[in-house]
Structure 1
Amino acid sequence: MAHSPWQQRGRGQARDGGTAWSPQLALDRHRLRRLLDAVGAVSADMDTRTVLHRIVEAATDIVAARYGALGVRSESGEVIDLITVGIDDPQAARAAMGLPQGHGLLHTLVDDRQPLRVADVSAHPRAVGFPPGHPVMRTLLGVPLVVRGTVYGDLYLADKLDGTPFDDDDEDLLAALAGAAGVSLANARLYEQLKRATEHFQRRMLPMLPDLSPLEAAARYEPASRLLRLGGDWYDAMVLPDGATCVVVGDVTGHDVEAASLMGQIRNMLRAIALDRCEPPGLVMSRLDQALTRFADPPTATLVLGRIERGRAEGGGYSFGWSNAGHLPPLLVGADGGTRYLAPARHGIPVGIDASVSRFSHEHPLPSGSTLLLFTDGLVERRDQDIDTGLGDLAEQAARLAAAPLEELCDTLISRSRQVFDDDVALLALRTPSGGPPWIRPGA
């Protein structure tokens, strides 16, 4: 039996007790280095699909095989996905051939849970031939991906590039890679389960938007794309006792369970203060600041708090009054596609830092059919670009969607960056009615 590539087993021993150089020893060290590199590559990501591709690519590389594949199995043992390397058009081939079925040579891996090495595929007693469009393969080496008794899939290679059959060293290399790959795949699946649970928890903490008629309203929340963490981003909207519509978007400092909990506390405190006094946004913000700084370790947050009401603007139209606590400015999009960031010179600091710092209220008309966007920084911030570039891109995209339905506008803005976000995103969009007679909310 040939020796494993990471064990010398007495080969190449020098007379003085050291290890003498030999071509075989150099080859063994080279393959060991490739194996370690492959294990590192497989373990470098938590996205399941990426992990699967890296497993197959690493396997074909270290064994120098022409073809590689990984059949992903469900808990019941059914093949639910197939990742391939070496086939010119894997998507077309998969569409033509379908997924491997629960019989034939490959199912031996599932039955035996042991490595499988075949020198002549066509002569094997369990071989059932190749489906139409499948490359004809002569030799096969396969290992199951098993972690704590669970079979996650079957990793198999076919036809070495040099035309030689698979040997013991190839099997040892593939088995070692499969051990590390199985753990990486199990971790990736666990990570995705936790991420889904985290996202579900975060969404449950955000409110359902109430009926704000005649204003239209839509909101979105998207978690950070690559990080498993709870965020402090939130949005809220409600009708105040005086008939005005209160809107808010904010971001609590930090990303963990505590930040999510603090977000809920701050949102509820802000709701209570706004409903109780119906004061200008600057005063409401100041009262929130005073309440937060009474804590021994005050939480901090950036936010925009606003009031939308009818009758204050010229001609009895809508107006937006707001106060900004260290947050990105709201974006106003006119019905004609004109855009403007509402960013007055007097910009407040985040709440929870110093309650003695003055808070300011600002006001701006909301023309008929205009759209107001409040959002957190995850929508416009990217590690590789200045935030002003992100703000400019957002304004351009929103301008093109000025006449689009509000739900479509939100969906497009969220997906404009290929749904990859470095941070959580909260987005709240509101639109004033287009023309028509003045509409007064009952009880206003």
Structure 2
Amino acid sequence: MTPARDLWTIASTADAARARAVLARLTADAGLPALDRARFLTAFTARLRRCLGEGGAEVAVRADADGQLHVAVRQPGRPGAWRHALSCPRPVTSPLPSPAGLDGAALAEALLDADADADAVLESLAETEELVGFHREELHQTNQGVLALHAELEAAALAQHELLDAERAARAAAENARRLLTFLANASAALNASLEHDDILRRLPDLLVPEYASDVDIWLADEERTPSGDRAALTAARTGRPQHAARHPGELPGVEDQPPSPLSPDRPLLCIPLGARTVQGVLTLTAPGERFDPDATVMLLELGRRAGIALDNARQYEQHRDVAEALQRAQLTELPEVPGVSLAARYLPATRGLNIGGDWYDAFRQPDGSVLAVIGDVTGHGLRAAVIMGQLRTALRAYAVEGNGPGRILTLLHRMLRHQQPELYATCAVARFTPGDPTVVWAAAGHPPAITRDPGGRVRVLDLKPGIMLGVPLAYEYAEHTVRLPPGSTLALYTDGLVERRAAGIDAGIERLGRALEALSAAELEDLDAAAESLLKPMLHDSEHDDDVCLLLCRTSPA
């Protein structure tokens, strides 16, 4: 099909109206939608109106076989043209109608058709406006939902921030509580690790300064001086309740308020009574800053209570130790002067712990003129051990007066202790020296072996198997042994506190004692007391021992 073409000359308004009417009818027959048709015709008419004002125009119309309608408007003598292409649903009729053939009736009909198109456009516009209104309402509702969602998100974010702040505060409080409890536990362990009254008083300031106090003053109830914080400290000592002397009272939990102290014009004072049942003294603390932290204050009050208990324990321990030591020393024998035998003894109480009261030595004559040298150790420590040691010492002397030998004496002591003190045991070694006889008779009950040194310096350990400990719930007869001691020989009896250490076994200590005895010269052994001191130095070089120490040296006179 040959494309339809036509060229129209537009010289007047009537020509423009006819051209518009022809294109309106043409596009309507081709099925072009009214809205598209109205848009095209409006743009076409506006172009013709401009061209008429400038001298007229030529309209070129071409219809393709595929339904395309091409319209171009040119002004004669001027380059360029207005072009428009329309895609019509149906083919455009051929040949194209000419505008010149239109009469008045056709123009009127075209006018009515234009109104119909306008109605269609207006109807479409109304539908569009209704749809726009619907979407506008929908958009408004969406905006309201978005605003509500934003408000909820903001509230949720605020709540989350508050929860995070609360969590941080809770974690900080928990960490602070953990830190305070850890310090309290460590400080309590440090205070209770010592049973020395003065040592506890020295440790308190080191623990508290500078984190919990800028200055520490400890006043004890038996001191004559006035405590720091005078009125508040005296009130705390009298009532047993902590006192606070500060510029801003009422900030500390469980602490009564007092007027400002003249000794602390710049920082608050906290006066804590030391003790639980009885007040040992007052711990006066100067605040490390402008005030005491409330949580730290609660911890400090508990630390003061525990420090008071530690001081009370130390005081009771010292009293108990002094009584036990006095009792034990009162029962230690003054060594006799015996022809043919020199005696020297040393007793040292333990340097750590309540280990006083178990060790003893003794030396005395029997009715037949022989001399008994005795050394022993009661299990357990403290006052009870000292009392049992005194009973054993008295019973041993009584059995010796009856003329019993070392083995028989130990057998009788074993029976006595087993029946009178069934839960208490002891070790003991007894050696009998007879004037003019170089043979020494000895017996042992679970005691460390004696050590001998002959005049030539040779050392020997009497390591025959000893009998069982005294008091063991078992019937037992102790055997006697003999050892020949040439004139000028030395016999060393000792307790396990001299040779036993936690870091090494007792055998190593016995070997060390043998070497120390062997190292003594004959001249040093002439003065047996000095020789005893010389033996103690290498054995106790660390000056710290957990048990009592007894040493008894017996030396036969040279020929």
Equivalent residue for 2:209, pick from 47, 57, 60: 60
Give, in whole Å, the separation in 2 of the partners of 1:55 and 1:117: 22
Q: Does 1:196 align with 2:325?
A: no
Q: Are residues 291 and 180 of structure 1, via their aligned partners in 2, closer, same or farther at CA, if it must alter by over 3 Å?
A: closer
CA contact (8 A) 1:139 1:166 kept: yes
Give, in whole Å, the separation in 2 of the partners of 1:408 and 1:139: 60
Quote how far apart the aligned CAs of 1:271 are.
Answer: 1.9
Quote how far apart the aligned CAs of 1:200 are.
Answer: 1.7
Q: Does 1:45 align with 2:187?
A: no
Q: Are residues 284 and 366 of structure 1, via their aligned partners in 2, closer, same or farther at CA, if it must alter by over 3 Å?
A: farther
Give, in whole Å, the separation in 2 of the partners of 1:209 and 1:218: 7
Match of 2:513 in 1: 394
Match of 1:243 in 2: 369
Secondary structure of the structure 2 residue equivalent to 1:251? strand
Quote how far apart the aligned CAs of 1:198 are.
Answer: 2.1
Match of 1:420 in 2: 544
Q: Are residues 365 and 187 of structure 1, via their aligned partners in 2, closer, same or farther at CA, if it must alter by over 3 Å?
A: same
Match of 1:323 in 2: 443
The amino acid across from 2:173 in the alignment is L
Q: Are residues 413 and 61 of structure 1, via their aligned partners in 2, closer, same or farther at CA, if it must alter by over 3 Å?
A: farther
Give, in whole Å, the separation in 2 of the partners of 1:39 and 1:199: 28
Pick the structure with more helix per residue.
2
Secondary structure of the structure 1 residue equivalent to 2:431? strand
Give, in whole Å, the separation in 2 of the partners of 1:258 and 1:127: 50
Quote how far apart the aligned CAs of 1:245 are.
Answer: 1.1
CA contact (8 A) 1:381 1:422 kept: no
Quote how far apart the aligned CAs of 1:330 are.
Answer: 1.3
CA contact (8 A) 2:368 2:403 kept: no
CA contact (8 A) 1:42 1:58 kept: no
Match of 1:152 in 2: 281
Q: Are residues 215 and 59 of structure 1, via their aligned partners in 2, closer, same or farther at CA, if it must alter by over 3 Å?
A: same
Give, in whole Å, the separation in 1 of the partners of 2:313 and 2:412: 46
Larger RCO: 1 or 2 (CA < 8 Å, sep 6+): 1
Runs of 5+ consecutive residues of structure 1 not aligned to the other structure: 1-13, 79-101, 129-137, 314-318, 439-444
CA contact (8 A) 2:229 2:284 kept: no
CA contact (8 A) 1:251 1:376 kept: yes
Match of 2:103 in 1: none
Equivalent residue for 1:219, pick from 338, 345, 368: 345
Q: Are residues 153 and 426 of structure 1, via their aligned partners in 2, closer, same or farther at CA, if it must alter by over 3 Å?
A: farther
Q: Does 1:363 align with 2:483?
A: yes
Match of 2:529 in 1: 407
Give, in whole Å, the separation in 2 of the partners of 1:388 and 1:205: 30
Give, in whole Å, the separation in 2 of the partners of 1:75 and 1:430: 48
Greater Cα radius of gyration, structure 1 or 2: 2
Give, in whole Å, the separation in 1 of the partners of 2:416 and 2:300: 61
In the TM superposition, what are the counterparts of 1:102-181 in structure 2 within 5 Å? 110-111=233-234, 113=236, 114-116=243-245, 126=263, 141=269, 143-147=271-275, 150=279, 152=281, 154-156=283-285, 160=288, 164-169=289-294, 171-181=297-307
Quote how far apart the aligned CAs of 1:199 are.
Answer: 1.9
Quote how far apart the aligned CAs of 1:306 are.
Answer: 0.7
Secondary structure of the structure 1 residue equivalent to 2:281? strand
Q: Are residues 200 and 284 of structure 1, via their aligned partners in 2, closer, same or farther at CA, if it must alter by over 3 Å?
A: closer
Give, in whole Å, the separation in 1 of the partners of 2:292 and 2:385: 55
Secondary structure of the structure 1 residue equivalent to 2:335? coil
> What whole-Å deviation, never above 9, does each CA across 1:48-82 have from its counterpart, x for those lacking one?
2332233223223652x5x654545461334xxxx
Q: Does 1:186 align with 2:312?
A: yes
Give, in whole Å, the separation in 2 of the partners of 1:290 and 1:266: 11
Match of 1:11 in 2: none
Give, in whole Å, the separation in 1 of the partners of 2:300 and 2:424: 52
The amino acid across from 2:434 in the alignment is E
Give, in whole Å, the separation in 1 of the partners of 2:210 and 2:345: 47
The amino acid across from 1:75 in the alignment is D
The amino acid across from 2:528 in the alignment is L
CA contact (8 A) 1:31 1:62 kept: no
Q: Are residues 243 and 173 of structure 1, via their aligned partners in 2, closer, same or farther at CA, if it must alter by over 3 Å?
A: same
In the TM superposition, what are the counterparts of 1:290-329 in structure 2 within 5 Å? 297=422, 300-313=425-438, 319-329=439-449
Match of 2:30 in 1: none
Match of 2:72 in 1: none
CA contact (8 A) 2:361 2:376 kept: yes
The amino acid across from 1:303 in the alignment is C
Q: Are residues 407 and 154 of structure 1, via their aligned partners in 2, closer, same or farther at CA, if it must alter by over 3 Å?
A: farther
Match of 1:252 in 2: 378
Give, in whole Å, the separation in 2 of the partners of 1:265 and 1:346: 26
Match of 2:498 in 1: 379
Give, in whole Å, the separation in 2 of the partners of 1:157 and 1:336: 69
Match of 2:127 in 1: none
Equivalent residue for 2:224, pick from 77, 84, 91: 77
The amino acid across from 1:341 in the alignment is V
How many residue pairs get aligned? The number is 370
CA contact (8 A) 1:328 1:377 kept: yes
CA contact (8 A) 2:283 2:304 kept: no
RMSD, matched Cα: 4.0
The amino acid across from 1:76 in the alignment is E
TM-score by length of 2: 0.55
Q: Are residues 256 and 118 of structure 1, via their aligned partners in 2, closer, same or farther at CA, if it must alter by over 3 Å?
A: same
Quote how far apart the aligned CAs of 1:388 are.
Answer: 1.4
